[in-house]
Amino acid sequence: MNSLNPTGWVRPQPYYSLGRRPKHDYRIRYGALLILPLMGFFAFQALTPLIGASKVAAKHSVALARTVSVSPHIQPAPAVVAAVPSSTALQNVLDTWTANHTDHTWSVSVQGLGGDKRLASVNKNFVLPTASVFKLLLTPKLFANYSLDSLADKTVAVDGREDTSLKNCVELMIRVSDNPCGVAVGNLLGWSRSNTVIRSLGLTHTNLNNPSGPTSSAGDLTLFLTKLQSGQLFDAGTTNYLLDLMQHQDLRSGIPAGCADCTVADKTGDLGSVRHDVAIVTYPGGQYVLSIFTDGASYGQMAQLTSQIQAVMSTR
């Protein structure tokens, strides 16, 4: 206590004084200046993962938004789904027909051609004697051995007749279903060898070398005619030659009569106990193969069935 301050009380000096500071004031100040950057550094280190995560999340959000929200001018390509026309109506025709015509066995196969993928069948693998349809099945071996231009130069022996050109016999056996020429061509080519060629085409229910006579099915003839029409069997000239013979064959009361406005290239077979007609049918707007094998049904019935099939095929 002194005379200037009789109470002994000393006024505290402010921490931040404009005057002279105590020594400990500098230590605090410089310590603070050192600590603040360190605190900032540790804060940055702590926040960096969070900032990175938020950026990644933002990128995913943008990518997701771009995936979901596409420019109306650049739409994602839709999934390609092959449009297969319904075969139900066609199958219903065949099922109804066979249910209502039980007096005969019906082996029927229908196959659309080109872009028409419709198909239907009943008993398509039911095997029957081919009758004269075998004459059509000899042609793969025939044209494997002979070119179209060489047919006229080859002579063939016909039972009970004078020898004639192979070309003449081929035209007779297809156009008027001449039996002696059909047998003569088969003998020339070899029945076993001809059957081997036919089997190589996938006609697994056909046997041209059967001792009791050639046999086949409607399904096999549909496969054969599909290959013929698509050019898988012969060159264009040979294909057109054979189709022209079939279009102008004389026996037209079966499938051709069932579609008067159609172009029909067909081949019949008739032994009385079996009766068949197989054809490539061309109508305005489409084309299909129709094979009908029966155990003796009439050609008139085949024509009726054809007209019902044609009514379905022309509406797609």
123 DSSP assignment: S
User: Is 31 inside any structural domain?
Assistant: no
Identify the domain containing residue 238 by its residue range.
88-313
Q: Is the dihedral of CA 93, 99, 100, 103 positive or negative?
A: positive
pLDDT at 86: 74
User: Is 17 inside any structural domain?
Assistant: no
pLDDT at 41: 53
Q: How many independent structural domains does the chain possess?
A: 1
Task: Indicate if the pLDDT at residue 54 is higher than 60.
Answer: no
User: Is 34 inside any structural domain?
Assistant: no
Compare 99 and 72 and report the one with higher pLDDT.
99
User: Is 38 inside any structural domain?
Assistant: no
Report helix, strand or coil for 245. Answer: helix
User: Is 233 inside any structural domain?
Assistant: yes
User: Is 42 inside any structural domain?
Assistant: no
pLDDT at 42: 52
User: Is 48 inside any structural domain?
Assistant: no
Residue 193 sits in a domain whose CATH number is: 3.40.710.10
Distance CA 260, CA 269 (A): 21
Per DSSP, the residues of 163-208 read: -EEHHHHHHHHHHS--HHHHHHHHHHH-HHHHHHHHHHTT-TT-BT
Distance CA 238, CA 129 (A): 27
Distance CA 115, CA 189 (A): 36
Q: What mean pLDDT, rounded, does the chain reach? A: 82
Locate 210 and state its tokens: 């059967």
| pLDDT tens digits, one per residue of 86-107 | 799 999 999 999 999 999 999 9
User: Is 161 inside any structural domain?
Assistant: yes
pLDDT at 34: 52
Compare 204 and 33 and report the one with higher pLDDT.
204
Contact 156, 165 (CB under 8 A): yes
Mean pLDDT value of segment 268-283: 97
Instruction: Grade residue 161 by pLDDT with cuts at 50, 70 and 90.
Output: very high
Closest CA to 291 of 248, 235, 227: 227
